[in-house]
């Protein structure tokens, strides 16, 4: 009881923003860079509150979350990811344009004690991405325990700009989330079931976080890593700040704002000018979630549609942070650095966004359900199944997707593989904000009673066997079945070629090894005499590296005195 009273008092100070608040130094994740990345997912523990230990998950040596991976556009990277948990997991590279078999969705499982070794080329623009478990239906649990990390992709265009870029000094990664705890003696356990919102705000896994930033322009790379809660971000002095990048890259010019709405899974990069603040002064990054107007309780009449806008303080949809304005990060102003950034770049990039004239196909997806008797949300009244492909798309199609949400709640819609540009939102709460339509996105806030339209191109990767996901990024909704699958296929004629094989093993178990492209699915064919009419399909293999192995154990074929193999792949499928 004593511990519960102490924690509640700390929380009350956080919401009120009182001067009596006790802060903790913001943890800055370490970085990994290069082309080979070694990660391990471990069970560990952390003290969020004095005298209380909480079991957690973390990548590598931390006690929650994981290192920030720094990658360069154009590099081919190799990941070595070992699962040291006592349960199966996956790791998804959120926002990456990579082959389906490397994507880390629910199909690419990593059993306990095993190592997954995906390799892929970085094709994305410079921006902030992240990695996290995606195991169906245990995503909420593994995320709640703290598994995740951020990724920074660099490219020559972004690197040439005069922007803050000293990691942890004037360029700050900031993963925002919250957790609910229950105490048992000296242990504070995460509540991971029947809990949409946390009671205690975390920034990079730090309760009541504080950081000192220099008296100049600073860059915040903000990720909403929540279960459901959205943030209406702003600063305690109501200052203007500047959006410079969305999920998938830079916007054309810095966009002045006083508020940014960030739904689960979304990222935003902002520049904040601390040059006008006195050294030693402080301000707060805030969540202005009280009576939030975008799809929430408020003058628009949409009751409790804003995630975290519900009035309850207890129960599955309750929280001590609900429908409140509260601190996310206390910022103290320190001395400026050498070569400080003191001016905004006038131009950041020139985006060539898709338009209606480019569209070759359109489709509509509706968010359905959420009402009694079961209250489960779905897409098009169809719950997720690992064995069901919901949509099949053509390679190089430019598609317009319309996401209609007439369900009783707002959601966060995420699609794998591609970046899109938002072109419209029709909603009683209003249309698109300037920063939402100015750059590339992979996640969007689908307000209650809204219609959202985006355009994208499904290029580069095709497979008849390895799907990509689209889903609500509320991990509890995702686990309950608010998810679908799509294949990108090439319907051109197949390209048949005799491969150069290396034969390994004995006649009882022969492995055929051939050069391959990562993420490509190959069909193997066999013939006894290479006659054009005698080729028969004998199996499939999807490469996860620069070579592929096909094991032939068929006794009839292996007993033949001679035989021939060839591979078939869709034309331009990689």
Sequence-distant (≥ 6) Cβ neighbours of residue 183 within 8 angstroms = 3, 4, 52, 189
Spatial contact of 134 and 100, defined as CB atoms under 8 Å apart = no
| pLDDT of the residue at 302 | 39
The residue extents of the domains of the chain are 356-489, 494-570
Nearest to 144 by CA among 157, 156, 135, 152: 135
For the CA atoms of 306, 330, 240, 254, what is the dihedral angle to 10 degrees? Answer: -90
pLDDT digits (tens, 9 = 90+) for 521-544: 778 888 887 666 678 888 888 777
Backbone angles phi, psi at 139, to 5 degrees: -65, -45
Distance linking the first and last C-alpha atoms of the chain: 60
The partner residues of 182 in beta bridges, in order of sequence, read 189
State the fold for domain 494-570: Immunoglobulin-like (2.60.40)
Superfamily name and number for 356-489:
Cupredoxins -  blue copper proteins (2.60.40.420)
- pLDDT means per 10 residues, the chain with 574 residues, are 36 47 95 98 96 97 97 96 98 96 95 95 97 97 97 98 98 98 94 92 98 98 97 97 98 97 97 97 95 48 66 89 94 97 97 96 96 85 95 96 92 98 90 94 93 96 91 96 95 51 61 75 80 78 77 83 76 40
In the chain, the percentage of residues whose pLDDT exceeds 70 is 88
Contacts (Cβ under 8 Å, ≥6 apart) of 500: 514, 515
Please choose, from the candidates 275, 267, 233, 271, the residue with its C-alpha nearest in 3D space to the C-alpha of residue 255. Answer: 271
Cα radius of gyration rounded to whole Å, the chain: 25
Q: Alpha-carbon distance 472 to 444, whole Å?
A: 10
- Cα 465 to Cα 570: distance, rounded to the nearest angstrom: 12
Q: What is the pLDDT of residue 570?
A: 53
Tokens representing residue 116 in the block: 């997954």
For residue 41, give the nearest of 23, 70, 65 by alpha carbon.
65
Please report the pLDDT score of residue 292 as a whole number: 65
Give the tens place of pLDDT for each residue, 311-334. 889 998 899 999 899 999 999 999
Q: How many CA atoms lie within 13 A of 315 on its CB side?
A: 8
Q: For CA atoms 480, 371, 379, 129, give the dihedral sign.
A: negative
Angstrom distances, CA of residue 252 to CA of 119, 343, 346: 31, 16, 9
- ∠ CA 436-123-42, nearest 5°, is 90
pLDDT tens digit sequence for 91-130: 999 999 999 989 999 999 999 999 999 999 999 999 999 9
CB count, 10 Å around CB of 355?
A: 12
Q: Coil, strand, or helix at residue 471? A: strand
Instruction: Please report the beta strands in 50-165, taking only residues with DSSP state E, as ranges in sequence order.
Output: 52-59, 68-72, 76-83, 92-94, 115-116, 119-121, 127-132, 149-154
pLDDT in tens, 199-239: 999 999 999 999 999 999 999 999 999 999 999 999 999 99
Q: How far, in Å, CA of 354 to CA of 369, rounded?
A: 31
> Comparing C-alpha atoms, which of 7, 1, 5 is closest to residue 47?
7
CB 501 within 8 A of CB 253: no
Q: Facing residues of 361 across strands?
A: 399
Measure the CA–CA gap between 38 and 564, rounded to whole angstroms. Answer: 39
């Amino acid at each position: 009881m004593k511990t519960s009273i102490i924690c509640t008092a700390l929380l009350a100070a956080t919401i009120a923003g009182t001067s009596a608040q006790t802060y903790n130094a913001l943890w800055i994740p370490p970085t990994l860079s290069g082309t080979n990345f070694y990660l391990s997912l471990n069970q560990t523990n952390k003290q969020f509150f004095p005298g209380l230990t909480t079991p957690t998950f973390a990548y590598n040596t931390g006690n929650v979350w994981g290192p920030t991976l720094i990658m360069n556009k154009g590099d081919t990277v190799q990941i070595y990811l070992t699962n040291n948990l006592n349960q199966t997991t996956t790791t998804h590279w959120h926002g990456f344009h990579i082959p389906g078999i490397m994507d880390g969705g629910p199909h690419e499982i990593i059993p306990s004690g095993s190592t997954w070794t995906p390799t892929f080329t970085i094709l994305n623009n410079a921006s902030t991405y992240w990695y996290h478990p995606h195991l169906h239906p245990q995503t909420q649990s593994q995320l709640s325990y703290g598994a995740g990390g951020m990724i920074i992709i660099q490219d020559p265009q972004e690197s040439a700009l005069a922007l803050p870029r000293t990691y942890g000094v004037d360029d700050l990664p900031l993963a925002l989330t919250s957790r609910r705890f229950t105490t048992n003696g000296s242990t504070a356990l995460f509540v991971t079931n029947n809990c949409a919102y946390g009671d205690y705000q975390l920034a990079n896994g730090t309760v009541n976080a504080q950081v000192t930033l220099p008296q100049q322009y600073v860059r915040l790379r903000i990720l909403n890593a929540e279960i459901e809660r959205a943030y209406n971000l702003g600063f305690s002095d109501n200052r203007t700040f500047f959006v410079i990048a969305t999920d998938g890259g830079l916007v054309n010019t810095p966009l002045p704002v006083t508020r940014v709405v960030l739904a689960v899974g979304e990222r935003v990069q902002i520049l904040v000018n601390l040059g006008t603040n006195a050294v030693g002064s402080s301000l707060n990054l805030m969540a202005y979630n009280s009576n939030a107007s975008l799809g929430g309780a408020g003058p628009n009449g949409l009751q409790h549609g804003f995630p975290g806008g519900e009035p309850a303080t207890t129960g599955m949809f309750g929280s001590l942070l609900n429908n409140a304005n509260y601190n996310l990060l206390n910022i103290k102003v320190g001395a400026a650095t050498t070569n400080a950034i003191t001016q905004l770049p006038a131009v950041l990039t020139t985006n060539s966004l898709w338009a209606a004239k480019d569209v070759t196909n359109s489709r509509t997806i509706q968010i359905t359900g959420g009402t009694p008797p079961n209250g489960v949300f779905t897409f098009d009244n169809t719950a997720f199944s690992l064995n069901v492909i919901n949509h099949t798309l053509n390679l190089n199609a430019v598609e317009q997707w319309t996401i209609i949400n007439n369900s009783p709640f707002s959601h966060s819609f995420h699609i794998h593989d591609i970046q899109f540009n938002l072109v419209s939102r029709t909603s009683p709460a209003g249309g698109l904000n300037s920063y939402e339509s100015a750059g590339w996105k992979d996640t969007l806030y689908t307000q209650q009673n809204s219609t959202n339209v985006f355009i994208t191109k499904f290029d580069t990767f095709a497979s008849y066997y390895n799907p990509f996901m689209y889903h609500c990024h509320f991990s509890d909704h995702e686990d309950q079945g608010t998810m679908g699958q799509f294949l990108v296929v090439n319907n051109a004629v197949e390209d048949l070629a005799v491969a150069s094989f290396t034969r390994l093993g004995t006649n009882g178990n022969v492995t055929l090894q051939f050069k391959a492209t990562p993420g490509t699915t190959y069909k193997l064919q066999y013939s006894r005499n290479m006659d054009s009419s005698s080729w028969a399909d004998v199996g499939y293999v999807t490469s996860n590296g620069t070579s592929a192995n096909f094991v032939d154990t068929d006794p009839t074929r292996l007993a033949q005195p001679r035989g021939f193999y060839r591979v078939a792949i869709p034309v331009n499928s990689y």
